[in-house]
Amino acid sequence: MTMAENSVFLPVAVAYDRWSRGYDAYDNPMVAAARHVLGVACAGLAVGTVVEFGCGTGRNLAALKAAGAGELIGCDLSEGMLEQARARDASFRLFKADMAAQLPIESGIADLVLFCLALEHVGDLVPPLREARRLMRSGGRVVIIEIHPFLSSGGVAAHFRDGEDVVHMPTFAHRFSDYLAALAAAGLALPACREWYAGDFGVSASAKMLKRGPDSPLVVEFVVGAG
């Protein structure tokens, strides 16, 4: 017997407030893929200060702290997600803020600026990338780990089940050319780009990651320096 399904569409912050308590325990193939990619992308990067845009429950900040990062800064639209991040680690410096706006932080402090599964909620990539460029220290990096453009163009987007409700929210399918144009407009360099397909995760691939087969795309990773 299948559960009755009720599709609801909520504003981003309201949707994530509702998702916040269960987010970290949710079996989400994109989150699992992004966790793996972050570990690979940041291995060997000497990271002092991190700023994550759309930091959610702070799971990435915690992983980067465990990997040796010193100061962990995050911003998010959703108070519920920020509450989880605060509860996870009181030392995180957190802002309830839209990543398209300027954060009240001095320029050039970040060794690493991270976007992870957050840019799909932003229509115009230029303002957050420009802010990332402002915050990035000379010699620093911007790391972007997002849903693969082939998947998002095919209609795959953030959503979750909550009881009988399947909750959807505003999302935007960004193409590779959108990322390249926005990075250039924000004064960031041509990125190193790696596409991650389900088969690339080896034994780390969960059943949900392999749902569309090993040759299906999951996430894209860009590692970017100053332009």
Ligand X SMILES: C[S@@+](CC[C@H](N)C(=O)[O-])C[C@H]1O[C@@H](n2cnc3c(N)ncnc32)[C@H](O)[C@@H]1O
- CA-nearest of 189, 170, 94 to 132 is 189
Tokens 């990075």 — which residue? 183
Query: Quick check: 95 and 148 in contact, CB under 8 A?
Result: no
Binding flag, residue 36, ligand X (CB under 6 A): no
User: How many whole angstroms separate alpha carbon 197 and alpha carbon 78?
Assistant: 30
Query: Quick check: 189 and 227 in contact, CB under 8 A?
Result: yes
Q: Which is nearer to ligand X, 47 or 116 (by Cβ)?
A: 116
The piece of 39-47, 113-121, 134-142, 218-226 that touches ligand X (CB under 6 A) is 113-121
Among 18, 121, 134, 148, binds ligand X (CB under 6 A): 121
Residues 6+ apart with CB under 8 A from 207: none
Q: Which is nearer to ligand X, 16 or 201 (by Cβ)?
A: 16
The piece of 70-78, 172-180, 196-204, 213-221 that touches ligand X (CB under 6 A) is 70-78
Binding flag, residue 224, ligand X (CB under 6 A): no
Q: Which is nearer to ligand X, 26 or 227 (by Cβ)?
A: 26
Binding flag, residue 220, ligand X (CB under 6 A): no
φ, ψ (nearest 5 deg) of residue 4: -60, 145
User: How many whole angstroms separate alpha carbon 5 and alpha carbon 172?
Assistant: 24
Among 47, 51, 60, 133, binds ligand X (CB under 6 A): 60
Binding flag, residue 55, ligand X (CB under 6 A): yes
Binding flag, residue 61, ligand X (CB under 6 A): no
Residue 76, sorted as left (phi over 0), alpha (psi -120 to 50) or beta, turns out to be beta
Binding flag, residue 116, ligand X (CB under 6 A): yes
Rounded least distance, CB 209 to ligand X, Å: 15
Binding flag, residue 14, ligand X (CB under 6 A): no
Binding flag, residue 76, ligand X (CB under 6 A): yes
Binding flag, residue 167, ligand X (CB under 6 A): no
Q: Which amino acid is at 95?
A: F
φ, ψ (nearest 5 deg) of residue 143: -115, 130
The piece of 74-82, 171-179, 183-191, 202-210 that touches ligand X (CB under 6 A) is 74-82
Distances, alpha carbon 7 to alpha carbons 104, 164, 168, in Å? 37, 9, 7
Residues 139-158 that bind ligand X (CB under 6 A): 158
Distances, alpha carbon 198 to alpha carbons 29, 156, 173, 174, in Å? 10, 15, 20, 20
State the residues that interact with ligand X by CB under 6 A: 12-13, 16, 31, 34, 54-56, 59-60, 75-78, 81, 98-100, 116-118, 121-122, 158
